């Protein structure tokens, strides 16, 4: 009976939830995909071939039990589907929205490999958990037994919050410190609402709070409280501070007025989306309205900047990237969305200088070609002499990637070892740093990465911290 509802990939074509028209979605910061209707979710889940070796599961960093929750969805057993899905993923509706599925689960779906189009795993995962929220199946943690030991977590992004959730479930006392005024890290202030609406992030933080997690916000560790003071207050500490130092350009007028950092630009836009009063937006500095905008970079951050500029009413938006479309790090799906919304990609192009009289007025664009592969196997861009031209721009957004801040120096911590890239050294799987009782997860260990990896790290670290505090061996998270 069960199998009758599955294996429909030959007769049922792949369908994503309906995407709002480019015209409509360019005028607001709401998500661009609508929700599946129940029938459609069941139909799409039923396309899964239930193959013996589920490569989707292997390539999901959380090893989600995807075939099982697809089958339960196809059978209309949504509460059970939700229970299975949330047992391995702390934030399934968030991953369903923003994981680059084409590189993870869906990119490895067997029916995709056989030319039938992948099962829309992310959209079904989102549907299951959104339905769970609507039906009241998502409830705050109520640990069976409270424990006295406390853990201080620095950083309320997905890594810190995933660890907090697991630790509270085990009954530990958890306090999260964050320098921002709202929890969520880049989920709140990096990723724009058109990919992930803010109430989705806030309701998760509230759920943790309702389950007993204490938040200390507007608290910059290293300034408002020392790292040593946090260590003194807690039995174990988890560092989950992400990476925020912007890679910069070494060219003329790189700091001219009108040349801004992506993180500042996106944070301001997200605050405006919350209804906050943002002076740097109000005075026009971080507002693209009416301007010719040039974004530099080819990753997810650049994609979010170009699409934010469109929604703010920019006159034109161009994205300069020094390699070509096939070699960009950002998701192809996001490039397509951006193009539909009116963004122009200028491939094989890099900035040579900015001309500015007070504020920027043009970008000198240097044309590139792809040369021989470098040690990583990627073709290096090479300059084409004499092909430069000037691109007019009133706002230039630098989205060249992020590096870790020098935490041992900033926090005055002796013995906290870092790698040669400045990321914190932490053991594989336990995530313990060079200081006993101090753990680290997410981007501050991996370098700029993905939400789903931060969640996995946080869940694993919680297990290791519990072992450390109780001396009890427990079953690993996966
Ligand atoms: C613009 C943008 C778009 C992205 N889009 C995607 C996407 O679509 N899909 C995806 O999977 N990933 C995406 N990412 C990557 C993803 O957001 C990160 O990999 C993930 O958020 C890392 O989680 P984290 O918990 O390690 O750190 P963060 O989310 O960065 O959270 C760190 C937290 O620590 C706090 N903090 C830092 N220093 C201190 C201090 N000294 N004291 C107190 N608090 C401190 C910060 O305020 C922050 O709240 C994107 C990143 C950016 C920048
Ligand atoms: S968490 Fe991400 S990679 Fe894993 S199943 Fe969900 S969308 Fe796919």
Neighbours of 2 (CB within 10 A): 10
DSSP for 405-450, please give it.
--HHHHHT-TT--B-TTSPBP--TTT-B-SSTTEEE-THHHHSS--
Environment class of 253 (CB within 10 Å of its CB; exposed 0-12, middle 13-18, buried 19+): buried
Cα–Cα distance for residue pair 39/281, rounded to 1 Å:
43
User: In terms of DSSP bridges, do strands 173-177 and 150-154 run parallel, antiparallel, or are they unpaired?
Assistant: parallel
Task: Compute the distance from residue 157 Cα to the ligand 1 centre, in Å.
Answer: 6
Environment class of 435 (CB within 10 Å of its CB; exposed 0-12, middle 13-18, buried 19+): middle
Percent of the chain's residues with pLDDT above 90: 82
**Residue nearest (by alpha carbon) to ligand 2 atom 1:** 95
User: What sign for the dihedral angle of Cα 140, 142, 143, 144?
Assistant: negative
Neighbours of 300 (CB within 10 A): 20
| Domain ranges, ordered by start, for the chain | 2-134, 150-243+404-470, 248-401
Summary mean pLDDT of the chain: 93
Which residue among 64, 124, 457 is best mutated to probe the pocket of ligand 2, counting the most ligand atoms within 8 A of its Cβ? 64
Task: Compute the distance from residue 128 Cα to the ligand 2 centre, in Å.
Answer: 13
Task: Compute the distance from residue 145 Cα to the ligand 1 centre, in Å.
Answer: 32
Give me the residue label for tokens 């990476």. Answer: 243
Task: Compute the distance from residue 330 Cα to the ligand 1 centre, in Å.
Answer: 17
Task: Compute the distance from residue 419 Cα to the ligand 1 centre, in Å.
Answer: 19
Q: Ligand 1 within 6 A of 58 CB?
A: no
**Contact, 180 vs 189, CB < 8 A?**
yes
Weakest mean pLDDT among 241-255, 257-271, 386-400: 241-255
User: In terms of DSSP bridges, do strands 395-398 and 214-216 run parallel, antiparallel, or are they unpaired?
Assistant: unpaired
Q: Ligand 2 within 6 A of 105 CB?
A: yes
Q: Ligand 1 within 6 A of 222 CB?
A: yes
**Contact, 68 vs 84, CB < 8 A?**
yes
In this prediction, residue 112 carries a pLDDT of 81
Q: Ligand 1 within 6 A of 300 CB?
A: yes
Neighbours of 82 (CB within 10 A): 25
What CATH number should be reported for the domain whose range is 2-134?
Answer: 1.10.1060.10
Q: What confidence tens digit (pLDDT) does each residue in 256-293 have?
A: 999 999 999 999 999 999 999 999 999 999 999 999 99
Task: Compute the distance from residue 365 Cα to the ligand 2 centre, in Å.
Answer: 38
Is residue 478 over pLDDT 50? no
pLDDT band at residue 376 under the 50/70/90 scheme: confident
Neighbours of 79 (CB within 10 A): 12
Q: Which of 87, 38, 35 is nearest to 66 (CA)?
A: 87
Q: Which atom of ligand 1 is nearest to the CA of 158?
A: 25
In this prediction, residue 472 carries a pLDDT of 62
Fold: same for 2-134 and 150-243+404-470:
no
pTM attached to this predicted model: 0.95
Please give the class, per CATH, of domain 248-401: alpha beta
Q: Ligand 1 within 6 A of 46 CB?
A: no
Angle in degrees, 0-180, between the axes of helices 66-74 and 78-88, rounded to the nearest 10: 170
Q: What confidence tens digit (pLDDT) does each residue in 97-142 have?
A: 999 998 899 999 988 877 888 999 999 999 999 999 999 999 999 9
* CA 416 to chain CA centroid, nearest Å: 26
Average pLDDT value for residue range 159-163: 98
**Contact, 439 vs 461, CB < 8 A?**
yes
Q: What's the topology of domain 150-243+404-470? A: FAD/NAD(P)-binding domain (3.50.50)
In sequence order, what are the residues at sequence separation of 6 or more whose Cβ sits closer than 8 angstroms to the Cβ of residue 53? Answer: none
Weakest mean pLDDT among 34-43, 299-308, 429-438, 458-467: 34-43
pLDDT band at residue 10 under the 50/70/90 scheme: confident
Is residue 201 over pLDDT 70? yes
pLDDT band at residue 81 under the 50/70/90 scheme: very high
Q: Ligand 2 within 6 A of 165 CB?
A: no
Is residue 475 over pLDDT 60? no
Q: What confidence tens digit (pLDDT) does each residue in 338-371 have?
A: 999 999 999 999 999 999 998 999 999 999 999 8
Average pLDDT value for residue range 154-174: 98
């Amino acid at each position: 009976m069960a199998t009758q509802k599955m294996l429909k990939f030959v007769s049922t074509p792949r369908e994503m939830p309906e995407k709002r028209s480019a015209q409509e979605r360019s005028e607001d910061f709401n998500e661009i995909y609508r929700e599946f209707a129940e029938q459609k979710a069941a139909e799409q889940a039923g396309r899964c071939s239930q193959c013996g070796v589920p490569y989707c599961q292997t390539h999901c960093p959380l090893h989600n039990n995807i075939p099982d929750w697809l089958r339960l969805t196809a059978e209309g057993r949504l509460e059970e589907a939700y229970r299975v899905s949330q047992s391995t993923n702390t934030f399934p509706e968030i991953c369903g929205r923003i994981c680059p599925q084409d590189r993870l689960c869906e990119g490895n779906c067997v029916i995709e490999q056989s030319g039938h189009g992948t099962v829309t795993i992310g959209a079904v995962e989102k549907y299951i958990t959104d339905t769970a929220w609507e039906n009241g199946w998502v409830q705050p943690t109520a640990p069976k037994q409270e424990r006295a030991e406390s853990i201080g977590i620095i950083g309320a992004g997905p890594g810190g919050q995933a660890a907090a959730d697991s630790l509270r479930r085990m009954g530990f006392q958890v306090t999260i410190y964050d320098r921002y005024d709202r929890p969520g890290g880049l989920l709140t202030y990096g990723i724009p609402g058109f990919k992930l609406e803010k109430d989705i992030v806030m309701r998760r933080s509230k759920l943790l709070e309702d389950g007993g997690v204490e938040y200390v916000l507007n608290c910059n560790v290293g300034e408002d409280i020392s790292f040593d003071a946090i260590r003194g207050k807690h039995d174990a500490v988890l560092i989950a501070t992400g990476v925020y130092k912007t890679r910069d350009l070494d060219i003329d007028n790189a700091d001219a007025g009108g040349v801004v950092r992506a993180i500042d630009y996106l944070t301001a836009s997200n605050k405006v989306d919350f209804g906050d009063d943002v002076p740097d937006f109000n005075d026009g500095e971080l507002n693209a309205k009416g301007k010719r905008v040039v974004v530099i970079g080819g990753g997810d951050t650049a994609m979010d900047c170009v699409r934010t500029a469109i929604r703010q009413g920019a006159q034109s938006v161009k994205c300069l990237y020094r390699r070509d479309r096939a070699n960009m790090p950002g998701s192809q799906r996001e490039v397509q969305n951006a193009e539909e919304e009116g963004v122009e990609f200028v491939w094989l192009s890099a900035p040579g200088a900015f001309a500015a009289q007070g504020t920027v007025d043009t970008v000198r664009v240097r044309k590139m070609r792809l040369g021989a592969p470098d040690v990583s196997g990627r073709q290096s861009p090479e300059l084409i002499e004499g092909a430069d031209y000037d691109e007019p721009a009133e706002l230039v957004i630098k989205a060249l990637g992020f590096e870790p801040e020098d935490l041992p120096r900033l926090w005055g911590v002796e013995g906290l070892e870092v790698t040669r890239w400045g990321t914190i050294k932490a053991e594989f799987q336990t995530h313990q740093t060079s200081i006993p009782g101090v753990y680290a997860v997410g981007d501050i260990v991996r370098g700029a990465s993905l939400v789903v990896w931060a969640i996995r790290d946080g869940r694993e670290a919680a297990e290791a911290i519990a072992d450390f505090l109780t001396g009890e061996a427990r079953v690993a998270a996966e």
